[in-house]
Amino acid sequence: MDVPRGEQDRVLETVAAADLSAETPHQLRRIADSAPLLIGYVGVDLRYRFNNRAYTEWFGLTGDEMRGKHIADIVGPVAFAAAKEHLDAACSGHVTQFDTHMSYQRGGSRYVHTTFVPDTAAGGEVQGIAIFVTDNSRLLQAQTDLMEAYKREVIVNTIGRAARSATDPMLILKTTTEVLGKALNADRCYYVTYDQKRGRGTVGPDWNRDGLESIAGEYDMFAYHLNRNAAYLSGTTDVVEDSFALPDNAMSVKLGLRALVRAPVHQNEVMTALVVAMSDQPRLWTERDISLVETIATQTRGAVEAARARLRERSFLRDVLSSVTGGKLLLCDHPGQLPPVRTLIHGPIPMDSTAALRAIRHETQQAAQKCGHAAEREVDLLTAASEAGMNAIVHAGGGTAYVSYSDDGVVQVRVEDQGLGITMENLPKAAFARGFSTKSTLGHGLKMMLETADRVYLLTGSTGTIVILEQERVQPLPAWL
């Protein structure tokens, strides 16, 4: 039974104030037996002299059966070892309190709060110890449930935020496997796709705990005995506590997949599942574990479908913007599509003040002159670089700029920030509408950059924007010529 700490303290004060050798034993007995906690008294030899009724309820022994018995004989060697140092402190005259899991030989396992109060004689010597033990197992379970629920919400929200902001479906899947695998303290977390017509299973992406090799790759689907489970292949979550104990387990041992939860993500001719696994230890998966895997599987299914839709929209928009601007505006989906930094004029320029605008203009002018740009083209590039730098400061709170050049006469200005990015619905207006300006569209800057630079590479999302301006020595012919 769980007892509020305030009530426990009142009981402790009442009983501790009583004289255990008093002439009113019946009054003491009534007080002690009515208390919802263990109340006992032992001598310095640690043998019981008094026990209340709760002892009988916990350990199944009467007071007479316990009287004269050593504590270890009643609670068992494991529980006694856990309390030994605290008993020693009480025997030395110190009041001690502690909270711990106790494994009693008769009373089972409980999470308890224990207090030992030394009983001292008039001369100060300790002649016994009053014992007060409260079972806080339900309180601990309630706290554990609350923390598990909170952790679950954190996991779901973390993956949800990544899914909402990502345009790359693979990034969503990689984020999911890492966050979920670590949260469940698993050894592996991965996606597997089955092509039942071909009889092939493809693992990837996958996350593996440090020291474990990746199992990403293509396999004979039915060589893995767990894949012969008809219920799983029909879309039912599969829970395995110890695959090594099953017959025909060679593939499980080879891949290091001993305990698994496999939740189908979608099912057509090709089925994908989200899998969390232990490598070489069995595991009793809890309902919370299973429910979390299923929740994340459902969540990522919708997120991946949305990301693929966004990719299609971006692809269409990229083609339109490139066509309308004569190939000048190049919308990128990931950093790998951006051109590399060329030979730097100097190091990075922190875009945190108007002084930074002078620095980016100065370095851009140096690069243009090194490459032999005509005065008119130099002025155009200075205008574009100023717009890119100004927008990083004003609309994103700052950023970093790099000015570089190459021997073939190309000057590059790269400006990075960690602002909110440009939304896809606002991008066409930002690029073409004169005077259109919001914090999420680089103000008037994008249109001006397109008018004054040869090429503008743009990578933008909710975590930031990278704008790369490139200017050649001689203005290139329009893409349509």
> Would 184 be classed as within a structural domain?
yes
Give which of 453, 421, 401, 258 is closest to 333, Cα–Cα.
421
The Cα–Cα gap between 358 and 355 comes to: 5
CATH number for position 228: 3.30.450.40
> Would 211 be classed as within a structural domain?
yes
> Would 478 be classed as within a structural domain?
no
pLDDT of residue 65: 92
> Would 315 be classed as within a structural domain?
no
Instruction: Answer with the one of 109, 135, 161 that is the final residue of a domain.
Output: 135
The Cα–Cα gap between 276 and 298 comes to: 15
> Would 246 be classed as within a structural domain?
yes
Query: 128 with 12, same domain?
Result: yes
Domain residue limits at 217? 141-308
> Would 477 be classed as within a structural domain?
no
Total structural domains in the chain?
3
Q: 307: Cβ–Cβ under 8 A, 6 or more apart, which residues?
A: 163, 166, 167, 168, 169, 172
Query: 163 with 58, same domain?
Result: no
DSSP 253-314: HHHT--EEEEEEEEESSEEEEEEEEESSS-----HHHHHHHHHHHHHHHHHHHHHHHHHHHH
Query: 344 with 427, same domain?
Result: yes
Alpha-carbon distances of 448 from 174, 363, 404, 421, rounded to whole Å = 38, 20, 21, 18
Query: 69 with 181, same domain?
Result: no
pLDDT of residue 268: 60
pLDDT of residue 142: 86
Instruction: Name the phi and psi angles at 211, rounded to 5.
Output: 100, -15
Query: 370 with 296, same domain?
Result: no
Across the strands, what pairs with 112? Answer: 100, 135
Query: 269 with 355, same domain?
Result: no
Instruction: Answer with the one of 308, 341, 359 that is the final residue of a domain.
Output: 308
Query: 466 with 393, same domain?
Result: yes
pLDDT of residue 107: 80
Residues 112, 92 contacting (CB under 8 angstroms): no
> Would 313 be classed as within a structural domain?
no
Per the listing, tokens 């950023």 go with 399
Alpha helices in 92-202 (DSSP H): 137-165, 169-183
- At residue 452, the 3 state secondary structure works out as helix
Residues 313, 424 contacting (CB under 8 angstroms): yes
- At residue 50, the 3 state secondary structure works out as strand
pLDDT of residue 96: 96
Query: 264 with 381, same domain?
Result: no
CATH number for position 465: 3.30.565.10
> Would 320 be classed as within a structural domain?
no
Query: 282 with 402, same domain?
Result: no
The Cα–Cα gap between 226 and 252 comes to: 9
Mean pLDDT by 10 residues, the chain (481 residues): 50 50 62 88 94 93 92 95 96 95 90 94 91 92 82 77 70 89 95 90 95 95 90 93 94 95 79 95 94 89 74 78 85 91 95 92 97 96 94 89 97 94 75 56 70 93 90 78 46
Task: Tell me the whole-structure pTM to 2 decimals.
Answer: 0.53
Query: 67 with 92, same domain?
Result: yes
Query: 122 with 159, same domain?
Result: no
CATH number for position 18: 3.30.450.20
Instruction: Answer with the one of 87, 114, 135 that is the final residue of a domain.
Output: 135
Query: 129 with 147, same domain?
Result: no
